């Protein structure tokens, strides 16, 4: 089960004692900050690093018809957790 945006907002508001609207505003600001800084890596101490990387173009195949098609290169967001976060999770 994954967490949706509403679940994250609820968790922020309950743990940080913010209102739901403040939590939503905080999450929206954080996500837009990451989107707007695509060219640089964003490092948050004791949390992790967000970075963008470009996946190369490749050939895809329809499994039913075996028809090949070209998949365009994509810019993807990657996250690498810090050692502290990894130790908390494991």
- φ/ψ of 36, rounded to 5, equals -80, -15
Contacts of 62 (CB under 8 A, 6+ apart): 68, 69
Q: Where in the chain does DSSP place strands (E)? A: 42-44, 48-55, 58-61, 68-71, 74-81
Q: How far is CA 24 from the centre of its chain?
A: 16
Query: 3-class SS at 62?
Result: coil
| Residue 50: closest CA among 26, 21, 85 | 85
Q: Rounded mean pLDDT of 3-30?
A: 92
Which residues are registered as beta bridge partners of 74?
Answer: 55
Q: pTM here? A: 0.69
- Structure confidence at residue 37 (pLDDT): 86
> Which domains can be identified in the chain, with CATH numbers?
1-36 (no CATH), 40-90 (4.10.520.10)
Instruction: Identify the band that residue 1 occupies on the pLDDT scale cut at 50, 70 and 90.
Output: low
């Amino acid at each position: 089960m994954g967490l949706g945006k509403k679940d994250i907002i609820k968790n922020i508001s309950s743990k940080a004692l913010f209102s739901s609207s403040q939590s939503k505003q905080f999450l929206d600001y954080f996500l837009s900050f990451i989107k707007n800084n695509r060219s640089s890596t964003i490092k948050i101490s004791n949390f992790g690093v967000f970075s963008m990387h470009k996946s190369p173009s490749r050939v895809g195949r329809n499994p039913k018809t075996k028809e090949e098609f070209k998949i365009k290169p994509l810019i993807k967001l990657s996250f690498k957790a810090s050692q502290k976060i990894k130790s908390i999770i494991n």
